[in-house]
Structure 1
Amino acid sequence: MVTLADVARMSGTSRSTASRALKDDPRISAKTSERVQLVAKALGYRPNLAARTLATGRSGIYGLIVPSRLMGDVYGAQLVSAVTDAVSAHDGGVMLWLSHDRPSRAIRDTINHGIVDGLIVSILVQDHPWVVELLDSGLPCVLIGRPGGLEEASYATADNIASSWALMRHLREEGYRRLAAIRGPLGNTDADERHSVFVEAMGGVGELDANLVAVGDFTYESGYAAATALLRHRPDGIVAGNDEMARGAMDAVRTAGLRIPEDVGVCGWDAVRRPNHGDMELTTVRQDVPAVGREAVSILLDLLKGEQGPIRRTLPTQLVVGRSTVRGTRSGEEMPT
C-alpha cells in the first residue's frame, strides 16, 4: 500500500509538505504542489475519501470537538446544530467528537492523518496543552470563545465583557450591595471573563469577600450546592456564571425559605432558552449561540481559502431584565450591551 511517506520521499519533500500540497494549501508553491500531485498519481496514492480529496485537495469533512457535558444542555445542542447546518450549506460534513478533557489517541490520529480539513473546538479549558498542540500542527483551527494567552488562535465568541458590565450596572441600580458569585470552571475563558468583571465591579480582589465566591461547573447541581453554601454568609444577590447554575441557585434560595428577589436576587448568563425558572423570569444575558457557531464555520472557511490568521470575531449580546432581580415594578426589558 502506497503511503504519504512514499509520496514525500519520491517527490523530495517532507511528509507535511506533501500533505499540504495534496490539499492545494496556498502556502505550498505551485511548482512543488504540481510535482507532489504528479508523484501521488503515478504511485497510485489514495488517501481516505479518495475521490473528493483528489478532485479538490480537501475531504470536505470538518471536525467539531465539544465537551461531553455540553451535549446534555441546550447550549451544546444549539452549537452542534448551527455548525452542522453551516457546513452542510457548503456541501461539507461534520465529524463530531465528545471529549471529557482531551481528545483520545484515536481522535488525534484521525486529525493527524488528514481526514478532516479543519477543526472547530469548544472546550472547557482553552489553554490546555493539547489545544496548543493543535494550533502548532498547522491544521486550520477555530476556537469557540476567546482564548486567554493564545495569540495565534482564531476564534468566534459572544461579548462577555460588555454584557457583564451591563448586568453589574443593573444590579447596582436595583440597590444590591452584598453580591455573591457562582463562577464557572477555572480556566474556561467565558467563565474567567464574566467573573473578572464581577471582581472589578466589586472593587477588585482586595475588596472581595472570599466567602461570597464559589466555583461551579455550569450545571444546575453545582449552582444549587454553591448557593446553599453562599447563603450562610447572607448575600443580597447571587450572580451565576450561566443560567443552569442560576436555576440551581434559585431553588436553593427557595429551599432556604427566602424570597426572590426581596431577600436574594438571582441572575444568570446565556439565555439559550426561555429565560425563566418556574414562574420567575430570570435576569440574564442573551447570547446568540447559533450565530457564534455559524461565525466559527465562516472563519474556518476563510482560513481554508488562505486568509491570514488569526481571525477573531466577537458577537453582540443583550441584557434581559427579569423579576428575579427587580425589586420595583420594572422587568422584561431587553437592552443591547
Structure 2
Amino acid sequence: MSPDGPRLAALWTAAAAEPPTSAYRTATSGVGTRHGTVLVALRDDGSRHLLIPIDARHSLKEETDGQAVTLRRRVLEDATTRRTYAALGLVDDRLTDLFRALCVEVLARVEAAPEQAVQALRRTLGDWRSLLSGARRVLGPSELAGLFGELLVLRDLVASDPGAVTFWTGHSGSAQDFHRGTCALEVKTTTSPEGRTVRIHGTGQLDGGVGRLLLTWIRLRTDRGRSVPDLVEDVLVRCDDGDAFVRALADLGYRSSDAEIYRARVFEPVERLTYEVGPGFPRITPSGLVDDAALAGIGTVHYDLDLDSGPASSARIDVDPARAFLEHS
C-alpha cells in the first residue's frame, strides 16, 4: 500500500540518514512500477524529491521553471546499477506540506497504474496545477498551529454547548477570538519548546472594555498528535450549525478540499495557561495612551508580551477557559 502523509514524512527522514546515491539520499516508498521502485529522496542541498523510475530511452518532457515543483530526468548509479528517473522536486520549502500531499496522491495513482507511472504523475500534476501555480493559497505551519489552538478551545465549548460556534468570532476580524455577552477569550498558540512570549496584534486585542477578558496560551509539540482536519471533524460532529462553522473556516482560508494537505502536520498540546486580563496586566490599550501618545496618525501596533513577567504571571488563574467563558454572566 502506498504511504500516507506521516509515513512519507518518515521516509524522507529515513532517506536523510542514508549514504548518498549520486547526488541523492534515498529510501524506498514500497510502490513498484515496471521499471523499478519509486524512491523518496533528498538531494545534497536538502531539497525533497520523489523519483519515479522510467525506461532509459524514455523522452521525458521536463518542467524546470516551476515556482513550486520541478520535473527533471535524472540518472542514479552506484557500483552495480544505473537507473533513470523522472524526478519530481520541491522548489519552495514553505510548500513542504503541499508537496507531501501531492506525493501521496502521485504514489497512490502510480500504485493503481504501475504500467503507466509517468502518465499517472502527469495527470496528478495537471489536477494540482492551480495550487502549484499559487492561484490558491494553503495555510502555512504557523497558521495551522494558530488554528489548531482555536479549534481546541472551540471543541471544548461545543462539547458543553452545541451552539457555541456562534461565539467564535476571530475569523471575522474581531479583536479577540471568542465573544459571549461581555466576556471575551483570546487564544495564543506557540510551537516553540521554550519561553512564554506571545505576539499581540493591535491595541484592542487585550482591551476587554467593561467586560471580562481571558487570555489562554497553549504550547504545542509538532512530532506527534492530531491534525487540524481531525479537530475540524470533532467540532462538526458536536456543533449544531455545521454550515456556519465551515463558513468561518473559509474566512480563515481553510477549505475541506485541502484537508489531505494538512493531515500530515500534527500537533499535541503540552502546556496550557490562562490569564485574567485586567488592571495591572501588561498591555497597550487605547485608553492607556494619553496626551502625546494619542493614536492619531499611528498605524497598527504589534508588540511582544512576556507571560513570565511578574505582572502577567500574577494574573494566571487556575480555570478551564471554556467553562469560565460559558459560565460568565
TM over 0.5: no
User: Hey, which of these two has a bigger chunk of helix by percent?
Assistant: 1
TM-score w.r.t. length of structure 2: 0.30
User: Hey, which of these two has a bigger chunk of strand by percent?
Assistant: 2
